[in-house]
Amino acid sequence: MTNSQKVTFNHVCVRIKDPEKSLHFYRDILGMKVIHSFGSEKGKFSNYFLGFNIPDEILNGTEEEKLLYRNHTSGLLELTHNWGTEELPDFQYTGHKNEPGNGYAHICLVVDDINAYCEYLEGESVPFRKKLTEGVMRNIAFVLDPDGYSVELIERKK
């Protein structure tokens, strides 16, 4: 039996401790745009859907247009904040650590000039897990978001 449905990748979700810090990183430093966000009083959580290259007519559109776009596009990042975690000083998510049983590794961004982008991130005081000058693979870098999740950087082939 074959599946005749069209299937596309929509988003990946990571849980965050502090939405203010995470939104600053993904939106203000990396340049992603928040397409849609909502909170659930009953569930005590908030979700933020972000992406790159979002058309202005979507960003300035109605909530219905944003939701429709969110559900029909690929390559989005969903940040999920469980309310109250930002108040707990020792709280952290462990799914990003390189420990046995934790399969999460990283998200990856493609940039035009990896050297210039790494210099920009260093200027923004973003911590690096692996700089271009470290390790065996000198063509990739990894930075850490406020929750310690790895973000891989690779250069767009010209």
User: DSSP characters for 96-152?
Assistant: TS--TT----EEEEEES-HHHHHHHHHHTTPPEEE-TTSSS-TTEEEEE-TT--EEE
Active site residue 78: no
CB atoms within 10 A of CB 156: 9
- Report the chain (158 residues): mean pLDDT per 10 consecutive residues: 71 93 98 96 95 97 94 93 92 64 78 95 96 92 92 89
pLDDT tens, residue by residue, 73-112: 999 999 999 999 999 998 887 655 555 556 677 899 999 9
Q: Do residues 132 and 146 make contact, with C-beta atoms less than 8 angstroms apart?
A: no
Catalytic residue among 65, 78, 86, 152: 152
